[in-house]
A and B are shown apart, each in its own frame.
Chain A
Amino acid sequence: MKRIAVLLALVFCSTAASAGQDPSAKSKKDGAANQSSVLSPQEARINALEDQVRTLAEEVALLRDELHAMRDAKSNEPGSSSRVLLASSHLEPGMVPSASPSPVAASAPDPALPQAAQTQGFGGATSNAKLLNPDISLIGDFIGTAGRNTVSPSRSLELHESEIGLQAIIDPYARADAFISFGETGVNVEEGYVTFTALPAGLLLKVGKMRADFGKVNTIHNHALPFIDRPLVTNNLVGGEDGIDDAGISLSRFLPAPKNWFVEGTAQVLRGDSSDVFTASRRQDVSVVGHIRAYRDLSESTNIDLGVSYARGHNDAGLGSMTFNPSNFLTNLYAADATLRWKPLRRAIYHSFLFRTELFWSARDQLSPLDIFQTQHAFGLYSSAEYRVNRRWTLGGRFDRSGRATNANLTDTGFSGILTYWPSEFSQIRGQYRYGHLWDVPNDRFTNANEFLFQFLFVMGAHGAHPF
């Protein structure tokens, strides 16, 4: 087989060489023709042909030597395109008799394998399905709720979200990520942005719709949260499930820092429309977000991650007001976050611990019931911890406390406990108990909510990176 391939290559090379030789041969012929005064035309032609044959023979010998040298050194040049074709043809389902290899057959040493590897040269298979296609994934998020909650009731059973992820490298300068989430009530482009990775001066530019870099939990997709729900404070102060998620431009850069500290600054300008936090009534009512993150490895298994964030935008409190300019109503948000992680490298898949706390301050301009312009200062926080007990089980808990953006005196409190089971890396089954001491607006009093939530998460398609 190999010999045939070499022979074929030789024949191909010599044809190519002779093709390349043609013009020079012709010129030699012309040169010989010029000497026709001395030699007869036939002799001249024979001479020219002899010359040509000699050069070709030399070339073939050279090529052969080269080929031998390459084979001897088991040269490591990546496979040529024809080899890639051969390799990828292994993936054709029709090529093999058994379409679903049993695990026993797969685990048995396959004598054909080295042979197959020989014919395909070096390198792994080329993934046919992925040629120029984006990485596609779908994450299903099914949530069930039981118990009593009169303040923010959710449905008993729902396919809360099906998130389609499309990710690809666009060109040598950029990559793009899009996450489209199909909820129970409609479709939403959760994120869709292009990242320019080859900018000068260490700048990283993102353009599109994105979850704003405001704190930690705001940047995390639903399925990647350590809990089934989002903390109370997200709902009360920072826009609920969607959070600050808006179209805009984001610029980040590593900042100079003491040794072993990683410090990154991000500045974002967004249109100014995010859930119930920001509302832009005019084109210039853009919102801005700034974030500084500092990270340090304390040891190879322990690290801390700190951040401060600021967001500013217009709110909807003044809309419809006769006496005030609606553009004068601003919401300023401040946040601080701290995360401590522990994961022993030798047992990374069995044990890990994460503690996180985030504090939020909201200063919201609004009208009091007596139509007086006022700024409402509300504060909220959550603290959570997760512990991976073994490869399949994770335990977690969270404490919540938050005022309401429109009325800081109404402070909701709650806590949750969660248990997660991982059948594999690609699915999770969770149960969460949630208690809430919540202000019941219509009845003007506090009420207790006791709920049990359960969730099934499943991932199909491309193996996305794990969020950190």
Chain B
Amino acid sequence: MRNANPHTRTTAFIAAFTLLLALWAPPAGAENKLNIVTATTDLAALAQEIGGDKVDVESIARGYQDPHFVEAKPSFLLKLRHADLLIVVGLELEIGWLPPLISQSTNPKIQVGAPGYFDASRFARILEIPTGVVTRAEGDVHPLGNPHYWLDPENGLRIAKGIQNKLSEMRPSDAAYFAQRYDSFEQRLKQAEQKWIAEMKPYAGHKVITYHRSWPNFAEHFGLDVVGYVEPRPGIPPSPQHTVELIGMMKRDGVKIIVVEPYFDLKTPNSIARDTGAQVVVLMPSVGGEKEITGYFKLFDYDIAKLKQAFDATK
């Protein structure tokens, strides 16, 4: 003899709920435009350059936000669920927040390895790939190489090429449009690059300190010499002992510039600057870091103008 009543009720409850969940059809959002979501604003800017008005691009992180520490807010799922293409920085930069967003997005198109998952790092020249034993004794190291690679215009171009190929693959009918946008981007970038390099030329080989290791590609491309970091190790807050050593080194070598990302506290950099007569420059590592930085070109315009100003002030 079974008391079937609770059992039936349970089954009915499950069935009703499942039905309820399944009945809501996904909103018909299949517009003609490709829906692109990027992890950072720089990738969004590059995707916009190539995609033009054939794409809608949105970035998850803001330009003034530390891309290591974005929160996996459910509101991002609303963006991801309708994305046709997800462009990520890769090299484990987003490891603290993107994996759960991707798996919860219920969007098969952008799962890791799917055609709509695009890892921009595979197209860029990566620096600081660690050799030897990698442990966290060196701080929050990136074992696959430095992920701040977009700050080299050459890499920007390489990523843009990769995006062009990807978009053409997704929308073969617009391939000619994307190719033309890439050509125009390449031409404008090469021009701008000459201008930037010329502007930075007087400061070639100048030594600078940076807060975090965000600038190796930028420094290499524009001939700066990064000789130290405010952080004793990546991801470890400044320590008094390290700061003292840094001040000694800066005085000895005549280092006059401290580059700080917008998401770090200025207290330590300012106190180092007071002791050494150096200048603190808040440079933007990403598009949108300041309102006026609306695109990939403006990012370098802004940073180079700020650097020039600081170098001239410390002459």
Interface positions of A (Cβ within 8 A of B): 73-76, 78-79, 87, 90-91, 93, 95-96, 98-101, 103, 106-109, 113-114, 116-117, 120, 122-127, 169, 172-173, 175, 195, 197-199, 201-204, 251-256, 260, 262, 264-265, 267, 269, 284, 286, 288, 290, 293, 295-297, 300, 303, 305, 312, 325, 327-328, 330, 343, 345-350, 391-392, 424-426, 463-466, 468
Contact residue among A197, A267, A330 (Cβ-Cβ distance under 8 Å from B106): A197
* Bound Cα distance from A93 to B135, whole angstroms: 12
Given contacts A253-B106, A328-B3, A425-B140, contact A348 B237 (CB under 8 A): no
Given contacts A327-B3, A463-B95, contact A122 B71 (CB under 8 A): no
Cβ distance B315 to chain A, nearest Cβ, rounded Å: 23
Tell whether, in the assembled complex, residue B126 and residue A123 are in contact, meaning their CB atoms are under 8 Å apart. yes
Cβ distance A423 to chain B, nearest Cβ, rounded Å: 8
Cβ distance B118 to chain A, nearest Cβ, rounded Å: 11
Tell whether, in the assembled complex, residue A262 and residue B78 are in contact, meaning their CB atoms are under 8 Å apart. yes
- Interface status of B91 (Cβ within 8 A of chain A): yes
- Interface status of B143 (Cβ within 8 A of chain A): yes
- Size category of the B interface is 35 or more
Cβ distance B99 to chain A, nearest Cβ, rounded Å: 5
Tell whether, in the assembled complex, residue B122 and residue A78 are in contact, meaning their CB atoms are under 8 Å apart. yes
- Give chain B interface residues in 108-164, CB to chain A under 8 Å: 108, 111-114, 121-134, 136, 138-140, 143-145, 147, 154, 157-159, 161-162
Tell whether, in the assembled complex, residue B158 and residue A99 are in contact, meaning their CB atoms are under 8 Å apart. no
Given contacts A93-B133, A262-B75, A466-B72, contact A123 B64 (CB under 8 A): no
A-B contact count (CB 8 A): 229
Q: Which residue of B lies closest to A110 (CB)?
A: B128
- Give chain B interface residues in 76-92, CB to chain A under 8 Å: 77-78, 81, 90-92
Taking CB atoms, residues of chain A closer than 8 Å to B140 are 424-426, 463
Tell whether, in the assembled complex, residue B25 and residue A465 are in contact, meaning their CB atoms are under 8 Å apart. no
Tell whether, in the assembled complex, residue B161 and residue A172 are in contact, meaning their CB atoms are under 8 Å apart. no
- Interface status of B270 (Cβ within 8 A of chain A): no
Tell whether, in the assembled complex, residue B17 and residue A125 are in contact, meaning their CB atoms are under 8 Å apart. no
Tell whether, in the assembled complex, residue A346 and residue B75 are in contact, meaning their CB atoms are under 8 Å apart. no
Please list the 7 inter-chain residue pairs (A to B) with the smallest Cβ-Cβ separation, ordered nearest first: A198-B108, A124-B144, A124-B145, A76-B123, A267-B17, A123-B122, A262-B74
Tell whether, in the assembled complex, residue B114 and residue A172 are in contact, meaning their CB atoms are under 8 Å apart. yes
- Interface status of B248 (Cβ within 8 A of chain A): no
- Interface status of B226 (Cβ within 8 A of chain A): yes
Please name 11 further chain A to chain B contacts, defined as beta carbons within 8 Å, in addition to the given A90-B129, A197-B102, A325-B3, sorted by A numbering.
A73-B161, A91-B131, A101-B138, A124-B121, A197-B103, A202-B26, A262-B74, A284-B10, A296-B75, A463-B96, A464-B96
Q: Which residue of A lies closest to B76 (CB)?
A: A262
* Bound Cα distance from A201 to B20, whole angstroms: 12
- Interface status of B235 (Cβ within 8 A of chain A): yes
Cβ distance B172 to chain A, nearest Cβ, rounded Å: 18
- Interface status of B168 (Cβ within 8 A of chain A): no
Tell whether, in the assembled complex, residue B237 and residue A391 are in contact, meaning their CB atoms are under 8 Å apart. yes
Taking CB atoms, residues of chain B closer than 8 Å to A79 are 122
* Bound Cα distance from A306 to B46, whole angstroms: 37
